[in-house]
Amino acid sequence: MVMLSRLGLDSSSELFRELPSSLRMSRPLALPAALSELELLKTLKALADGNLNLDEHPCFLGAGVYDHYVPSVVDHVLGRSEFYTSYTPYQPEMSQGMLQAIFEYQTLICELTGMEVANASLYDGGSSLAEAALMGCRASGREEVLIARTVNPFYREVVATYLRTAGFAIREIPLDESGAVDLDLLAAAAGSGTAALILQSPNFFGILEDLEAAGNILRRRAPAASFVVSADPISLALLRPPGELGVDIVVGEGQVLGNHPSFGGPLLGIMACTEKLLRRMPGRIVGETTDAEGRRGYVLTIQTREQHIRREKATSNICTNQALNALAAAVYLTVLGKDGLREVAFNCCWKGHYARERFRSLRGFAIPYQGPCFREFVVNCPIPPAELNSALIRDGIIGGYPLARHYPEREELRSAWLLCVTERRTRAEIDRLAEAAAAAAALSPVFPSPEGGTVLENDL
Amino acid sequence: MKTIFERSRSGRRGLLIPPCDVPEVELDSLIPRRFQRGAPPALPEVDQLTAVRHYTALSRRNHGVDSGFYPLGSCTMKYNPKVAEDIARLAGFARLHPLQPAETCQGALALMHDLERYLAEIAGMARVTLQPAAGSHGELLGLMIIKAFMARRGDGERRRVILVPDTSHGTNPASAALAGYRVVQVRSGPDGDVDIEDLAARLGEDTAALMLTNPSTLGLFERRIEAISGLVHRAGGLLYYDGANMNAIMGISRPGDMGFDIVHFNLHKTFATPHGGGGPGSGPVGVVRELVPFLPVPVIEKGPGGYYLDHDRPLSVGKLHAFYGNFGVTVKAYAYIRSMGPDGLRQVSEDAVLSANYLLSLLRGHYDLPFDRPCMHEFVLSARKHKELGVAARDIAKRILDYGFHPPTTYFPLTIAEALMVEPTESESVETLDAFAEAMVQIARDAVTNPEMLRTAPHTTAVRRLDEVAAARNPVLRWKRRDSEKGEGA
Ligand SMILES: Cc1ncc(COP(=O)(O)O)c(C=O)c1O
């Protein structure tokens, strides 16, 4: 009212006098009536309670989002409202906190991946992979991207969507019987028209890809192409960093680093690359500099790549990214530290293998892929995995991911289940899963008789 | 301030991991040696208190909406209700896996389904997807939809041009280029609105769409929007709405009624979800009925057995996020809409526009006003007169820091020399607006009497003016141990 009267106006509708009357709404929006905070909490709590959550139910789902423990410290730091109510640090003198945190995040990502430079984050692992593919196309001037079918099928869909729109081609390379990309077929497909090769390791089935061998093939057959690898940051505590293996661009899903699953978002798109590709990299980048008194400080830098300066000539359209999730990753890596992250990775590895062996010995279940794995593995089930999942839910367990929809061409994946075991799962939970799965299978009419002769329904 | 790496001391740790309760097999028997890394990554080694103090100290070197006024134009830095943070952290939302069977996540699907409908109503669209993770992600999706629609209609080959006004945000042309389009700029006229004649001249057989923000990035309502819509549609093109400025029109006017075919929302602006230091945001996209088949997969449907995700959409453009977008952010937007209700949202827009007009009335005369019209939720000033005195918009912005306010957006839109774009939002009290105006008026006076003080500002911040040129010329993009520090720490 004070403002209206100081403006000499009677009503706020006068403020909208430039809007043609034909465009003014003549009715209120058809939305539910306002709720008080107390009512709001009750309503939203009821919606939240309509879901089975991972705190109360052991979960064996992975496939791109993982149930790792998020240390208490992470959420407390993220709850500092100086961080979460700020925006992109356009005014560095007032934003040193976020800038330094991102600079440290970039350093941590370089340490994990062995790459020279990292950006401040992209949306998620899938869109980061698509951006990397586009970088490969632009850097090489070639138009066909090779992608292994062992890459997460959701990521492949995102890459295909981006490339199709931008007018580039994509070719998928099948897998071999070990569950890794078929290197012979890769060698046959790579050539002078190849813009990039995309592998994921550990791949969608949890199997480690032979990045060194694939990289050698690519260098020999398609020297102009970029080698793009989607890597899991926790596995990198144990595995050879892609930077040692001639990889040009590393991307990955950073959700595992201190971010809750949150029904699949917000996630954290990691991207790191060689110094040579720096000016083709999308996204914000923080750099160190000095202030007028010579003190160390941080600013957004190499901005001549970006949309607000280059417009249609920019390397990407990224503006808002996933800064707070990158902060979570930095805090996570800091509190876990050098030893802690290794221990988490070891735990995933040991527990994953323990679970895999447990299923190998269960009657009616089989392990189709024998390659070395990390955290995830494929199980062939005697009954459709979706049925197993339903039975497990009755036992309070969230089971695995049925694979058939994504691999109609693979006989061995018709009734396959992707299981994931993080450090949060206990031996007792894994045993419970195995026992409940075995019991559910035994009760099912389609269970194979000990003499063989199964009657398998196609899953999904 | 020290980096976390400089606080590291060998052997320290911030957290215990539970002992492993399955056999600890020799790693070599599980993973061949040649796949293993030699030295572990050089992560920091600090105790938990050191980590907490480090990040607390960093937070104190950062300014958020909770710290003080943040009139960063185009970004809608409004208050982010605390209860929404609590809600998004409920285990039933934060601790959900995206691939859980539908029967185990009916609450989440119901929330998404209803939020899609609320947003569709607010924008006057037929259907909405929540998949894009930010505004520019939404733009890219919108352009993918346009492309797929026109390819199916049969004139996609020919329609290769996206028109954008010269005042448009950089993401508009960048998204269009990413989607494989050629970008052509349309001039804005002397009143700030799109120059209709220039638009008409550029429209043609090759036009795919015009991308427009309304209110425009100048904070002005595009008065001839109905004429523009007619022109674009008659030329066979579509009209795309950049929803960054929707805070001005909720419950007052709807893009769908203006003739727009595709809309993106910025939930982190209009719908009060925090900006997170640069993200995560959320950029849902709404479309008119004809374009619904092209929405990305999966879409949420409601059947007799409850909500489910439908992946079987033959005309869909595909997918641009691994899962369903930034669900955690959409929960906060849902909470905001439910707590505001229809009248509350309208009030938000009225107050946002009132605040901007009020602040403008206090600054008029002290800064150049390129377009003397009633503004919407924000306005653009020019410091071109101050520039003649040797004080640039940048210097004014840096001086504002000394008053504890975040400066307006500078140097955008590109058509306005020495632009200062001010967006107060509806959240701020008249006292705050008065105090900010007082500071701005004082700075305008200082530009005359003491330009040097402005050119060397800020004077009271944690660091003084930072050398951005040096940072770009000689990029230092990660911390590296100096030789003198070898042997100490990690
Ligand atoms: C007018 C306008 N359009 C588009 C965008 C891009 O949105 P986002 O940052 O969410 O990608 C912005 C963001 O600042 C904007 O102000």
Is the CB of residue A117 less than 8 Å from the CB of residue A110?
Answer: yes
pLDDT at position A402: 98
Furthest C-alpha separation in chain B:
77
The four Cα atoms A410, A415, A418, A421 give a dihedral, to 10 degrees, of -140
For the record, the structure tokens of B292 come out as: 């619904």
- Bridge partners, residue B353, by sequence: none
**Residue contact A47–B25, C-beta within 8 A:** no
For residue B413, the domain's CATH number is: 3.90.1150.10
Report d(CA B457, CA B439) in Å as an integer.
Answer: 14
Report the DSSP beta bridge partners of residue B364.
B367
Domain boundary among the residues B316, B340, B364 is at: B340
Beta strands B182-186; B161-165: pairing state: parallel
Tallying the residues shown for chain A, one arrives at: 460
Q: Which of A320, A321, A322, A324 to mutate to test the pocket of ligand 1 (most atoms within 8 A of CB)?
A: A320
> Residue B116 domain-assigned?
yes
3 state SS of B410 = strand
Cα-to-chain-centroid distance, residue B18: 40
Task: Determine the 3-state secondary structure of A317 from DSSP.
Answer: coil
What the block records as the tokens of B110 is 């119901």
Instruction: Supply B57's token pair.
Output: 């100290």
Residue B109 shares a structural domain with residue B183? yes
- pLDDT of res. B489: 41
Three-state SS letters, B271-324: CCCCCCCCCCCCCCEEECHHHHHHCCCCEEEEECCEEEEECCCCCCCCCCCCCC
User: Do residues B292 and B381 share a domain?
Assistant: no
pLDDT of residue A457: 40
Distance CA A407, CA A414 (A): 8
Protein residue with its CA nearest to atom 16 in ligand 1: B74
| SS3 assignment, position B285 | strand
B40 and A342 within 8 Å at the Cβ level: the answer is yes
Burial grade of B173 (CB within 10 A; 0-12, 13-18, 19 or more): buried
Task: Yes or no: say if A124 and A65 are a contact pair by the CB < 8 Å rule.
Answer: no
Query: Are B416 and B335 contained in the same domain?
Result: no
Cα nearest neighbour of A168 on chain B: B180
Q: Which of ligand 1's atoms lies nearest the C-alpha of B266?
A: 10
Last residue of one domain, picked from the residues B305, B340, B375 = B340
**3-class DSSP string for A345-376:** HHHHHHHHHHHHHHHHCCCCCECCCCCCECCE
Question: Rounded CA gap, A91 and A379, in Å?
Answer: 52
Ligand 1 centre to CA of B169 (Å) is 7
Question: Both B286 and B158 in a single domain?
Answer: yes
Ligand 1 mean position to B314 CA, how many Å? 30
| Residue A445, pLDDT score | 75
Q: Is this structure's pTM higher than 0.95? A: yes
| Residue B258 is assigned to a structural domain of this protein | yes
CA distance A228 to A250: 6
Cα–Cα distance between B444 and A236 in angstroms, integer? 54
Q: Residue A456's pLDDT is what?
A: 42
B355 and B447 housed in the same domain: yes
On whether residue B428 sits in a domain, the answer given is yes
Q: Which atom of ligand 1 is nearest to the CA of A320?
A: 9
Pairwise CA distance, residues A53 & A396, whole Å: 10
Ligand 1 pocket by C-beta < 6 Å: which residues? Answer: A 319-320; B 74-75, 134-136, 169, 171, 213, 217, 242, 244, 266, 281, 283
Contact residues on chain B for A262, CB-CB shorter than 8 A: 88, 93-96, 327-328
Q: Looking at beta carbons, which residues of chain A come within 8 Å of B106?
A: 50-51
Residues B306 and B393 in one domain: no
Same-domain pairing of B249 and B142: yes
Q: What tokens appear for B29 in the block?
A: 């028997």
Do B353 and B335 belong together in one domain? no
Residues B189 and B329 in one domain: yes
Name the residue with tokens 């996020």: B321
- In-domain check, residue B125: yes
Res B484: pLDDT: 57
Distance CA A275, CA B447 (A): 42
Number of other CB atoms surrounding residue A10 within 10 Å: 9
Give the number of domains in chain B: 2
All residues of chain B having their beta carbon less than 8 Å from the beta carbon of residue A318 are 134, 136
CA R_g for chain A = 25
A420 and A65 Cβ atoms separated by less than 8 Å: no
Domain range for B289: 83-340
Fold of A72-332: Aspartate Aminotransferase; domain 2 (3.40.640)
Query: In chain A, whose CA is at the least distance from the CA of B344?
Result: A34
**B8 is a domain residue:** no
Q: Where are the domains of chain A?
A: 72-332, 338-459
Instruction: Give the span between the Cα atoms of A408 and B438, in whole angstroms.
Output: 68
Got the DSSP string for A241-292? PGGGGT-SEEEEEGGGTT---GGG-S--EEEEE-GGGGGG--S--EEEEEBT
Question: Would residue B23 count as lying in a domain?
Answer: no
Average pLDDT across each block of 10 residues of chain B; the chain has 490 residues. List them in order: 97 96 95 96 98 98 98 98 98 98 98 98 98 98 98 98 97 96 97 98 98 98 98 98 98 98 98 98 98 98 96 98 98 98 98 98 97 97 96 98 98 96 98 98 97 98 96 96 56
Tokens of A278: 């720096």
Which residue has 């990299």 as its token pair?
A281
Residues B335, B351: one domain? no
Q: What torsion, rounded to 10 degrees, do the Cα atoms A79, A85, A90, A91 define?
A: -90
Instruction: Determine whether the interchain pair B471/A288 forms a contact, defined as Cβ–Cβ distance below 8 Å.
Output: yes
Smallest Cα distance from A102 to chain B, Å: 10
Quote the CA–CA distance of A250 and A232 in Å, as a whole number.
10
B80 CA to chain A: closest CA distance, Å? 7
Nearest-atom number in ligand 1 for the CA of B136 is 11
B478 located within any domain: no
Distance (Å, whole) CA B294 – CA B144: 9
Around A418, how many Cα atoms within 13 Å sit in the side-chain half-sphere?
29
- The CATH architecture annotation of domain A338-459 reads Alpha-Beta Complex (3.90)
The answer to whether the CB of B307 falls within 8 A of the CB of B106 is: yes
Q: Ligand 1 mean position to B134 CA, how many Å?
A: 8
The C-alpha atoms of residue B416 and residue B193 are separated, in whole angstroms, by 13
Q: Would you write out chain A's pLDDT as a tens digit for each of its 460 residues?
A: 789 999 999 998 999 999 999 999 999 999 999 999 999 999 999 999 999 999 999 999 999 999 999 999 999 999 999 999 999 999 999 999 999 999 999 999 999 999 999 999 999 999 999 999 999 999 999 999 999 999 999 999 999 999 999 999 999 999 999 999 999 999 999 999 999 999 999 999 999 999 999 999 999 999 999 999 999 999 999 999 999 999 999 999 999 999 999 999 999 999 999 999 999 999 999 999 999 999 999 999 999 888 888 899 888 999 999 999 999 999 999 999 999 999 999 999 999 999 999 999 999 999 999 999 999 999 999 999 999 999 999 999 999 999 999 999 999 999 999 999 999 999 999 999 999 999 999 988 766 555 444 444 443 3
B159 and B295, same domain (yes or no): yes
CA distance A205 to A356: 12
> B273 and B403 share a domain?
no
A370 and chain B: CB distance < 8 Å anywhere?
A: no
CA A240/CA A218 separation, integer angstroms: 19
